[in-house]
Amino acid sequence: MKKYFVAVATIAALGFVNAASAADMPVKAVKAPIAAPYSWTGLYVGGNVGYGWASNTGGGFTSLTDPGLGFAGYFAAVAEILPGVKPKGAIGGLQIGHNWQVSPMWVWGLVADIQASGMKDSATASIDPVGFANSIQSNESKILWFGTARAKAGIASNNWLIYGTGGLAYGGVKNSTALNCATCGPPGFWAGSTSSTRVGWTVGAGLNYGLTPNWILGAEYLYFDLGSISTTAILTSGPYPGVAFTSNSKFRGSIARVSLDYKFN
């Protein structure tokens, strides 16, 4: 019996020593998988919403048509008084584009967009030039819609992308003017409106953040110039046939917007 207990004790001691030795052995580290870098390459589509504000479209009638009815002096007194306006308002639309990530840092792209626009402004001024009749002049300008077709060049840092952009801008604009000379002897009233599709240019910058491999959040600023249009206010009532006042309105300004795009892999 004594020999039996000695054998059992010896086996238990050897097992303890082996377990302790195993505990002291180094454990091989398991490497965590490396996340794939974010890819900006691909076709994307999305929507945008924002706000636009334009520069002063330009106040003042620029020319007079007068078949010898004596309005030259009146025009000289009131020509630069037509109130200027600054169209502003909400915008929103759609965009489609494609990016090419040519290196871990550099991204090139092309994008086109089109927006509805609520940018508009109007103003009225009462004019009382010395030695002439009093008149009321009004001016209204609107940017009804606009779009762009642009190139992009950006710097990427994983799922962040900052870029510059520039290219073609186009849009529908409208201007209306009126001159009411109620105290003329006899009274006269002139009004006119012009609508046109204009083509110009745009430049800007933006920032994108890849929420997921497919969904991209963006913020963008653009400056645009759509050129100008002329509006002629013609006689609508009064005994002054052939007398007309013409103004020139420039359409240029800025937009700031946010966007959400879906990128196809």
Q: pLDDT at residue 263 above 50?
A: yes
pLDDT confidence of residue 205: 98
Tell me what pLDDT residue 195 has. 98
pLDDT at 34: 58
Q: Kindly report the pTM of this predicted structure.
A: 0.84
pLDDT at 264 over 80: yes
Classify domain 39-263 at the CATH class level. Answer: mainly beta
List the domain boundaries for the chain: 39-263
pLDDT of residue 49: 98
Q: Stretch 184-189: mean pLDDT, rounded? A: 93
- Per-residue pLDDT, averaged over 230-235, amounts to 97
pLDDT digit string, tens, across residues 17-39: 444 444 454 545 555 555 678 99
Query: pLDDT-derived band of residue 98, with 50, 70 and 90 as boundaries?
Result: very high
CA distance 226 to 147: 11
Q: What is the pLDDT of residue 12?
A: 42
With a CB cutoff of 8 Å and minimum separation 6, the contacts of 42 are 98, 99, 263, 264, 265
Helices (H), the chain: 2-23, 72-78
Segment 129-181, tens digit of pLDDT: 878 889 999 999 999 999 999 999 999 999 999 999 999 999 999 999 999 99
Decide if 49 contacts 104 (C-beta within 8 A): no
Lowest-confidence pick of 15-24, 101-110, 213-222: 15-24
Q: Which of 46-55, 57-66, 255-264 has the lowest mean pLDDT?
A: 57-66
**Mean pLDDT in the chain?**
89
Q: How many residues does the chain have?
A: 265
Distance CA 243, CA 235 (A): 7
Give ∠ CA 41-42-48 in degrees, rounded to 5: 110
pLDDT above 60 for 61: yes
| Stronger pLDDT, 8 or 35, i.e. the higher one | 35
